[in-house]
Amino acid sequence: MSASRWDDDPDLGEVIVAEDALQERVAQLGVQLTADYHGRPPLLVGVLKGAFVFMSDLARAIRLPVEVDVMAVASYGSATTTSGVVRIVKDLDSDLTGRHVLVVEDIVDSGLTLSYLRRSLLTRQPASFEVCALLVREGRQRAKLDLRYVGFHIPSRFVVGYGLDVAERYRNLPDIRIYQGSVPVD
């Protein structure tokens, strides 16, 4: 779909992070992660489904032989606000013992999902544990966050694109935009 066709969608608002800014920041994170993990290639743990686009681009930007695994957690369903209840829908296939784990997250909102993941994954005894979040929604954190790698801080608005969705729609947008429509009914 061309940019002009996306612009005609009444449910999509302003662009919060443009496609070129995403590409530039992912490249910068790749350089930083390559330096920080030199000699100890990380296991990238992508949080599905939202982080799949970001993790794919990030993995290619890291100039080390990274390994990749994914897990799926649920806290939103098809809503635009978190339920506060986190559950693991798909667990990792990899053993984390002694591994350098880098969780790749699409967006940090309340921080509850990330806090839950951190507690859960740290019990698996990784050698190190860090988080790389594409987006942090300002002013919404209800849990203390320790984020070493952040792509962008954004306003407290619901956004879609670059992997983020509403009811499975708009993941394929090349940029990140405010979602101003109603939640589609299944």
Q: Which residues are catalytic?
A: 109
Burial of 101 (0-12, 13-18, 19+ CB in 10 A): buried
Is the CB of residue 117 less than 8 Å from the CB of residue 92? no
Whether the link from the prior residue into 144 is cis, omega within 30° of 0, is no
Is the CB of residue 184 less than 8 Å from the CB of residue 78? yes
Q: Are strands 67-74 and 43-48 parallel, antiparallel or unpaired?
A: parallel
Contacts by 160-164, CB closer than 8 A, 24 or more apart:
160/12, 162/17, 162/22, 162/53, 162/54, 162/134, 163/49, 163/50, 163/51, 163/52, 163/53, 163/54, 163/106, 163/134, 164/50, 164/106, 164/107, 164/135
